């Protein structure tokens, strides 16, 4: 069991006072499967005049807030303690014990309404001919699904250049593939679009990457100290959903913490809102995900 302390700070500075604001926040990590949230507290400045916590359609924690007083910035601070259980088996070993072809996987996915939803394109993951071709070249019908997904991830990692500032949150998978450059969101959208075009269910995952992972060279890891994104892929009824990080060419195990899951970034953007006034805004985001001492005991 790996124990993490998470701190996520987001601040938006406004060039003019904001007189009224409504925000929708996906900023509380979720407990599921191998991940257990021991505690999570989200504070904001200014304090919300109205705050409603609930679950969205995909089961993520979502908070809607309303700020009525004039303010010159909006800041959120998340503090959380999280436990991560390692996978009991490596992907290759688990798949060898539960073999299934991609053709069989596709047929089963089409018979399950809960999976069909993650086969459908979205505005950000619509597959053009180049994305379809990318999937066709790497997703082989007779291969084990995990091996094919790994090949696709490695292809994207090798062909792309990690560059900040060349794309935006509205950049589509097709545009990102044509540019062959972008950030973790773009890597994830390209992989998702190719998988869905090839008949493999895929979800968009937002979260965090360990600040100094044991098996990563820190200078080479992409997405640490900020919000990160990767892909969850359905690999058949025996293996279920397994996660892949194309930005770092990694099968996800214990170095990633899940914040939220959806069809694409638009479903689970960390902060979305409508502001009256405010002028231009400048965002500042910092993240720390660090392993806690082995003798840490969860409260209670």
For 199, list phi and psi in degrees, rounded to 5: 85, 20
- The answer to whether 233 touches 249, Cβ cutoff 8 Å, is no
Residue 217: pLDDT band (50, 70, 90) is: very low
- Structural domains of the chain in order of their starting residue, each with its CATH number: 2-83+269-291 (2.60.40.2250), 88-253 (3.10.620.30)
Q: What is the pLDDT of residue 201?
A: 97
In this structure, the dihedral spanned by the alpha carbons of residues 62, 68, 70 and 72, taken in order and rounded to 10 degrees, is 0
pLDDT of residue 224: 61
Q: Please check the confidence at residue 218 and state whether its pLDDT lies above 80.
A: no
pLDDT of residue 266: 96
Q: How far apart are CA 271 and CA 255, in angstroms?
A: 24
Question: What pLDDT, on the 0 to 100 scale, is given for residue 112?
Answer: 94
pLDDT at 98 (0 to 100): 85
Mean pLDDT, rounded, of the chain: 91
The average pLDDT across 22-37 equals 94
| 35-66: burial string, b at 16+ Cβ within 10 Å, e else | bebbebebebebebeeeeeeeeebebbbbebe
pLDDT digits (tens, 9 = 90+) for 143-194: 789 999 999 999 999 999 999 999 999 999 999 999 999 999 999 999 999 9
Provide the terminal-to-terminal Cα distance of the chain, rounded to the nearest Å. Answer: 17
pLDDT at position 204, please? 98
**Mean pLDDT to the nearest integer, 190-215:** 88
Whether the ω angle into residue 46 lies within 30 degrees of 0, i.e. cis, is yes
Residue 1 pLDDT = 87
Q: Is the pLDDT of residue 297 over 90?
A: no
Q: Determine the number of helices (DSSP H) and then strands (DSSP E) in the chain.
A: 7, 14
What SS3 state is found at 191?
A: helix
Contact 268, 230 (CB under 8 A): no
Using only C-alpha atoms, the chain has a radius of gyration, in whole angstroms, of: 20
Does residue 295 register a pLDDT over 80?
no
How much of the chain, in percent, has pLDDT values that exceed 90?
Answer: 78
- Measured between alpha carbons, how far is 60 from 67 in angstroms, rounded to an integer? 23
At 89, is the pLDDT very low, low, confident or very high (cuts 50, 70, 90)? confident
pLDDT band for 40, please (50, 70, 90 cuts): very high
Helix (H) or strand (E) holding 169: none
Residue 300 pLDDT greater than 50, yes or no: no
pLDDT, residue 215, reads 44
| 98 vs 36 pLDDT, higher one | 36
Q: Is the pLDDT of residue 115 over 90?
A: yes
What's the whole-number mean pLDDT along residues 35-63?
95
Predicted confidence band at 7 (pLDDT cuts at 50, 70, 90)? very high
Q: pTM value? A: 0.92
CA distance linking residue 26 with residue 259, whole number of Å: 8
Q: Report which of residues 142 and 35 the model is more confident about.
A: 35
**Two tokens, residue 138:** 């790497």
> Is the model more confident about 68 or about 143?
68
φ, ψ at 173 (rounded to 5°): -60, -40
CA neighbours within 13 Å on the CB side: how many for 288? Answer: 8
Query: Could you give the 3-state DSSP secondary structure of residue 168?
Result: coil
| Mean pLDDT of all residues in 102-106 | 91
* pLDDT of residue 41 exceeding 90: yes
Give the pLDDT score at 214. 43
| Model pLDDT, residue 223 | 53
């Amino acid at each position: 069991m790996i124990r993490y302390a998470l701190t996520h700070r987001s601040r938006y500075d406004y060039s003019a006072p904001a007189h009224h604001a409504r925000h929708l926040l996906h900023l509380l990590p979720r407990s599921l499967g191998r991940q257990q949230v021991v505690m999570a507290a989200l504070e904001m400045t200014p304090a919300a005049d109205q705050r409603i916590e609930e679950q969205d359609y995909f089961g993520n924690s979502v908070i809607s807030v309303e700020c009525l007083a004039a303010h010159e910035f909006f800041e959120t601070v998340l503090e959380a303690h999280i436990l991560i259980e390692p996978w009991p088996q490596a992907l290759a070993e688990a798949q060898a014990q539960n073999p299934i072809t991609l053709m069989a996987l596709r047929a089963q996915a089409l018979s399950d309404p809960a999976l069909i939803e993650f086969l459908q394109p979205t505005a950000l993951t619509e597959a053009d001919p180049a994305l379809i071709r990318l999937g066709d070249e790497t997703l082989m019908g007779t291969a084990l699904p995990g091996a094919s997904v790994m090949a696709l991830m490695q292809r994207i990692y090798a062909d792309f250049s990690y560059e900040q500032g060349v794309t935006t949150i509205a950049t589509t998978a097709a545009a990102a593939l044509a540019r062959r450059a972008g950030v973790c969101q773009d890597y994830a959208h390209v992989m998702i679009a190719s998988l869905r075009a090839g008949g493999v269910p895929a979800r968009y995952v937002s979260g965090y990457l360990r600040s100094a992972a044991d098996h990563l060279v820190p200078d080479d890891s992409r997405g640490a100290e900020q919000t990160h994104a990767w892909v969850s892929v359905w690999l058949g009824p025996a293996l279920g959903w397994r996660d892949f990080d194309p930005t770092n060419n990694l099968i996800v195990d214990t170095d990633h913490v899940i914040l939220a899951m959806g069809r694409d970034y638009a479903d689970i953007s960390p902060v979305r809102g409508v502001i009256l006034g405010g002028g231009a805004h400048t965002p500042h985001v910092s993240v720390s995900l660090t392993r806690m001492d082995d003798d840490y005991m969860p409260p209670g």
